[in-house]
Structure 1
Amino acid sequence: MTTRCVRCIIWGMYLDLPGLEAFIAVAELGSFRRAASRLGLSQPALTRRLQRLEAVTGAELLDRRAQPIRLTATGTALLPEAQEAIGRLRAAIRRAVDPDRGQRIEIGCLPTLAVRHLGPVLAAHGAAWPESEVVLHESSATEIRAMLDANRIDFALAAIGAERWNVERVPLFDEPFFLVLPRSHRLAARESVAWAELRDEKLVSTHAVSENRRLVDAALDQARVPTTWRVEVRHLATAVAMVAAGAGIIALPASALPEPLPPGLATLRLLRPALTRRVGLLSPRERQLSPAARSLMAAIVTALRRVPEAALRCGPEAAARPAPPAAPRRGRALRPASPHG
């Protein structure tokens, strides 16, 4: 049974909540007797519910000859979808009965931004909204935009790009790009490097549809540097590992730089052009946010508009050092963007 068929059984015209509830109980407990006790049913009543559900699927869901009872292949495909469906329905009922409690918030977020910025904000939100549930979808910018288009998430923390008309944007800060390279590299002793100087370098790239890749490609085109991608990866941690192994060098925005920087690696500010990435909150215009979601959005805006300028100017290692009395050596600091961009 395919996942699509499973979803049709759960959400289509044959929705059988009592049968799904009985199936989940037997699957989790491995016993008709214990499942009937959990649901407050007699065993014959439980069996009838399961038989009706199996009539809908057209296949057996349980191997009744095994002890404890095991799932068939169809049952194995159905179980996680059924558990998620019932869980979402219960959460929806809980929210409808008491909208100030038990609110589920679904957020899309670039993994690097989640690791660097969201932990303290979510901890404070949990203390203020103890019944709230936050689901964090750590995805690429492309996947986040797809979730926004489908109205599957309340809002997202991501790089702002060419958003569709139905997505609202709240800019938070702009961050520059840095070159990550081995300390043994010929450029490593420098404080900055122009994009044109990367003409003959072996470059490691993020995924072709990522927002970072789009920005880097644009900077290389502006500097008239032909792209010479030697390694392309999906995850930034993998990209940094490739650089550490000597497979090439990579351009990353400040918040994507590892903290602390792995031994043997260095970072240089990339200039001419001085490429920046704008980070902000994205949300579907027509989505009605719960009080808990609005509170969390406001907390993220407050926290991220205070991102230390040293971290944006010189990378994560500089944020922990006191600001020097003289003017910064790596160029003018970039101030967080205004609410209106």
Structure 2
Amino acid sequence: MYLDLPGLEAFIAVAELGSFRHAASRLGLSQPALTRRLQRLEAVTGAELLDRRAQPIRLTAAGTSLLPEAQEAIARLREAIRRAVDPDQGQRIEIGCLPTLALRHLGPLLAAHGARWPQSEVVVHESSATEIRTMLEQNRIDFALAAIGAERWNVERVPLFEEPFFLVLPKDHRLAERGAVAWAELRDEKMVSTHAISENRRLVDAALDQARVHTTWRVEVRHLATALAMVAAGCGIIALPASALPEPMPPNLTTLRLLRPALTRRVGLLSPRARQLSPAARSLMTEIVARLGGESAAARPSRAGRGALRVAAPRG
């Protein structure tokens, strides 16, 4: 299929402005020239993209499907051209990050980066492990801060630290006064979980299988804040890595160490092998390695602090 970039730009302008006149003005074209571009694009796609009878102009079903993809593709192409023409001055960085790691670690790192690179722009894609791997494999991001799993050959990885999982449960739960709990003791417990494609869910499922514990997820949600609200409401209990534990812990929740097996997740930097990083992106990666490479794997909730995190000294 012929890639009609002028037609896509015309289509995006009309879709965003809802007017042929305003779109032509934005692109510096006459209205007949704009119309010809749109007609060529519709001939290429084989579908009508705009309902010209509506005022303002509306998208057809095909146009609605095409618009977000076209906007993202054009934006990525513009950024790629900018990087190629002026790679040393490229200040825009796109990174993937698991939401739990973004919440716990990214703020101070990006603040320090902004002080050193005041013209830099950082776009953070807070996504699931599956979505991050897709972006890495498609070379759409500079790098990612995520849990390390079974990465493909074209993704490089730099391990940073390991962190343990803890059980989060209401304080009035039958296990709440224990210092630790084995996975086998969770048999027949009601469980709350993040969505099935998350890396945390995969690790927890593997630990339950190893302990030969069969459980049915009673409540499955996408966001951590929702999961914790479900636990607080008594819908079940949840296993989470240390970075995902809120500070402070909600007053009616507590945490226990999980044993047999002692489950951990490895956190690291993942980057596409084929991607050429700008100086700003390399600088940010170096800072992340320096700051997080010495993180202790033994971050544990302090029972005396009623759920506050105590970070042990780095090993070695």
The bucket for the TM-score relative to the shorter chain is 0.7 to 0.9
Please say if residues 103 and 131 of structure 1, whose CA atoms lie closer than 8 Å, have aligned partners that are also in contact: yes
Please say if residues 169 and 254 of structure 2, whose CA atoms lie closer than 8 Å, have aligned partners that are also in contact: yes
* 1:232 Cα deviation from its structure 2 partner: 4.9
Query: 1:97-112 alignment to 2 at 5 Å?
Result: 97-112=85-100
Please say if residues 184 and 213 of structure 2, whose CA atoms lie closer than 8 Å, have aligned partners that are also in contact: no
CA–CA separation in structure 1 for the residues paired with 2:161 and 2:233: 32
- The residue number in structure 1 matching 2:225 is 237
Judging changes above 3 Å, is the alpha-carbon distance between structure 1 residues 241 and 55 closer, same or farther for their aligned structure 2 residues?
A: same
- The residue number in structure 2 matching 1:335 is 314
Name the aligned partner's letter for residue 276 of structure 2: Q
CA–CA separation in structure 1 for the residues paired with 2:203 and 2:48: 52
CA–CA separation in structure 1 for the residues paired with 2:297 and 2:268: 19
CA shift digits 1:260-300 (9 cap, x unpaired): 22231111122344332221112233333222221121122
CA–CA separation in structure 2 for the residues paired with 1:298 and 1:254: 23
SS at match of 1:146: helix
- The residue number in structure 2 matching 1:16 is 4
Name the aligned partner's letter for residue 108 of structure 1: G
* 1:254 Cα deviation from its structure 2 partner: 0.6
Judging changes above 3 Å, is the alpha-carbon distance between structure 1 residues 185 and 295 closer, same or farther for their aligned structure 2 residues?
A: same
Select the structure of larger CA radius of gyration.
Answer: 1
SS at match of 1:283: strand
CA–CA separation in structure 1 for the residues paired with 2:313 and 2:193: 25
Judging changes above 3 Å, is the alpha-carbon distance between structure 1 residues 160 and 34 closer, same or farther for their aligned structure 2 residues?
A: closer
CA–CA separation in structure 2 for the residues paired with 1:314 and 1:247: 22
1:161 corresponds to 2:122: no
1:83 corresponds to 2:86: no
Please say if residues 254 and 312 of structure 1, whose CA atoms lie closer than 8 Å, have aligned partners that are also in contact: yes
1:48 corresponds to 2:36: yes
| Paired residue total | 312
- The residue number in structure 2 matching 1:198 is 186
Judging changes above 3 Å, is the alpha-carbon distance between structure 1 residues 217 and 51 closer, same or farther for their aligned structure 2 residues?
A: closer
Name the aligned partner's letter for residue 25 of structure 2: S
1:318 to 298, 308, 312: 308
Please say if residues 217 and 227 of structure 1, whose CA atoms lie closer than 8 Å, have aligned partners that are also in contact: no
1:58 to 31, 46, 50: 46
Please say if residues 164 and 297 of structure 2, whose CA atoms lie closer than 8 Å, have aligned partners that are also in contact: no
CA–CA separation in structure 1 for the residues paired with 2:65 and 2:202: 38
Judging changes above 3 Å, is the alpha-carbon distance between structure 1 residues 192 and 288 closer, same or farther for their aligned structure 2 residues?
A: same
SS at match of 1:314: strand
Judging changes above 3 Å, is the alpha-carbon distance between structure 1 residues 232 and 282 closer, same or farther for their aligned structure 2 residues?
A: farther
Q: Which moved more, 1:165-174 or 1:179-188?
A: 165-174
SS at match of 1:233: strand
Name the aligned partner's letter for residue 50 of structure 1: L
Identity %: 81
Judging changes above 3 Å, is the alpha-carbon distance between structure 1 residues 129 and 266 closer, same or farther for their aligned structure 2 residues?
A: same
* 1:117 Cα deviation from its structure 2 partner: 1.0
CA–CA separation in structure 2 for the residues paired with 1:208 and 1:108: 19
Judging changes above 3 Å, is the alpha-carbon distance between structure 1 residues 30 and 206 closer, same or farther for their aligned structure 2 residues?
A: closer
2:290 to 279, 290, 302: 302
SS at match of 1:176: strand
SS at match of 2:308: helix
TM-score by length of 1: 0.79
Judging changes above 3 Å, is the alpha-carbon distance between structure 1 residues 207 and 195 closer, same or farther for their aligned structure 2 residues?
A: same
Please say if residues 106 and 154 of structure 1, whose CA atoms lie closer than 8 Å, have aligned partners that are also in contact: yes
1:175 corresponds to 2:163: yes
CA–CA separation in structure 1 for the residues paired with 2:203 and 2:281: 30
* 1:172 Cα deviation from its structure 2 partner: 1.4
Please say if residues 294 and 314 of structure 2, whose CA atoms lie closer than 8 Å, have aligned partners that are also in contact: no
Unpaired runs of at least 5, structure 2: none
CA–CA separation in structure 2 for the residues paired with 1:20 and 1:219: 49
Q: Which moved more, 1:105-114 or 1:209-218?
A: 209-218
- The residue number in structure 1 matching 2:101 is 113
1:291 corresponds to 2:279: yes
Judging changes above 3 Å, is the alpha-carbon distance between structure 1 residues 98 and 189 closer, same or farther for their aligned structure 2 residues?
A: same
Output the aligned Cα RMSD. Answer: 2.9
- The residue number in structure 2 matching 1:253 is 241
1:36 corresponds to 2:15: no
Judging changes above 3 Å, is the alpha-carbon distance between structure 1 residues 28 and 273 closer, same or farther for their aligned structure 2 residues?
A: closer
- The residue number in structure 2 matching 1:330 is none
Name the aligned partner's letter for residue 195 of structure 1: W
CA shift digits 1:19-69 (9 cap, x unpaired): 222222233333333333222222332232222223223343333333333
